[in-house]
Amino acid sequence: MIRLPESMERIWTMKAKGMREIEIAESLGISRQAVNKSLKEAKAKLFEAFFSLAETFSWEIVRVNAEKGFMVARGKCGGRATRVYAFYIPEKGIMAFFDNEIPEFVLQHALEFGIIKKPDKRELINALES
Amino acid sequence: MKLEGIRPSNFSGVPALMAISALVMILGGIEFSSLWMGITGWALIFASWGVSAKIENKTLVLKYAFGLLPIKLKGDDIDEVLILNRVERGVLLRHFPIVGIAYMGALVYALYRYSTFPENLLLGYYLGALGIIVISSSVLLSMAVPTGKTRHKLLATVAISIAGAFLLWLKTRKAEMVPMIAVLAMITLLIVYDIDTEDHIVLKTKKGKYLLTSNAPRDKVERAIKAIMEVLSDD
């Protein structure tokens, strides 16, 4: 399971939920530079994790967003072309789902991270596929 | 390392400003019959085109203005990589609305100019304005519809060209312009086909979005995407 270090994950999650770097720094009692450095490292780690995942399963990358932590890819499952939607879920790591088999907790996660405005599967797929 | 077959587009940042200024100069040149404005406009439009993209020290360097203007994107600055022609509803205008505004401006100007032309001008005046109308409306429509719907876009371009021919007939009542309209339609079809079938790589950064395009074979595009991914990844 690919996971960000705990403190880095906390900072990245706060940013992904829409907080500004200065607000994160103030709420955690650290410098803004430390927040910025942590965010840069988190993004690089997430990009690498998503790319490695796609390479391992020979998925073709469509989209990778390290700011909100998701990837869209094209893959094959049982000889059939499928869409793969992968998300970095805090405390869980990267989880991937095929076609429209996206569970409720992922919709809640997407809602919290501002990827969608209401917990609707169609809206999430539209947001990821446009 | 040079990214073979990849060309930066002038859809954002300084190159977009150059392209919009070029458009204003070209239209100004037509409006005021000014040769220097026209030449400056064409020089600016060529300068706004990206010539190459390469990777240097974990930085993506996009070169414009005949290689004289480099735009550097550090790996740290990039938040997202999107291969627009691979998403199911990838619309260029959604990512680069400024381009739509520029084309819309050109379209409105050409429509206004065409409608106010008197009926005894040289045919070239009508054809020039009509060229802007047909090309800008076809490209605008093509950019507003998701990539991959090439057949629909080409059909729409044919319909726009026919409407253009009708507009010309209304103004001139002469059949001798038909071959010119056919040539205009062919050029427009090629432009629309080219836009819709090339690969579009969108890079989202804190400063805005950048577009890389390619008509290169698939393996070259894959190599370029992989090279960009290496820039973004942790060491």
pLDDT tens digit string along B83-138? 999 999 999 999 999 999 999 999 999 999 998 888 888 888 888 889 999 999 99
Say yes or no: A41 contacts chain B, CB-CB below 8 A.
yes
Q: Which residues of B touch A66 (CB under 8 A)?
A: 79-80, 232
pLDDT tens digit string along B172-193? 887 777 788 899 999 999 999 9
For helices A6-16 and A21-28, the axis angle rounded to 10 degrees is 140
Say which amino acid occupies B198. Answer: E
Residue B55 β-bridge partners: B60
**Planar angle of CA A109, A21, A63, nearest 5 degrees:** 45
Say yes or no: A8 contacts chain B, CB-CB below 8 A.
no
**Domain extents in chain B:** 7-234
SS3 label, residue A103: coil
More confident residue, B125 or B146: B146
Task: Record the tokens describing residue B72, joined without a space.
Answer: 């550097």
Out of B79, B81, B89, name the one closest to residue A130 (CB): B89
pLDDT tens digit string along A95-116? 999 988 899 999 999 999 999 9
- Reference B111, options B125, B132, B127; nearest CA is B132
Enumerate long-range contacts of A3-6, CB under 8 Å, 24 or more apart.
A3/A93, A4/A42, A4/A45, A4/A46, A4/A88
Say yes or no: A67 contacts chain B, CB-CB below 8 A.
yes
Task: Record the tokens describing residue A29, joined without a space.
Answer: 């009692």
CA–CA min distance B127, chain A (Å): 37
Say yes or no: A99 contacts chain B, CB-CB below 8 A.
no
Cβ pair B87:A62 closer than 8 A: yes
Q: Which residues of B touch A126 (CB under 8 A)?
A: 89
**For residues A62 and B87, is the Cβ–Cβ distance under 8 A?**
yes
**For residues A36 and B54, is the Cβ–Cβ distance under 8 A?**
no
Q: CA-to-CA distance for B153 and B161, rounded, in angstroms?
A: 12
pLDDT tens digit string along A61-99? 999 999 999 999 998 877 788 999 999 999 999 999 998
DSSP class of B88: T
Q: What is the ipTM metric for this complex? A: 0.91
**For residues A49 and A88, is the Cβ–Cβ distance under 8 A?**
yes
Residue A24: which H helix or E strand, with range? helix A21-28
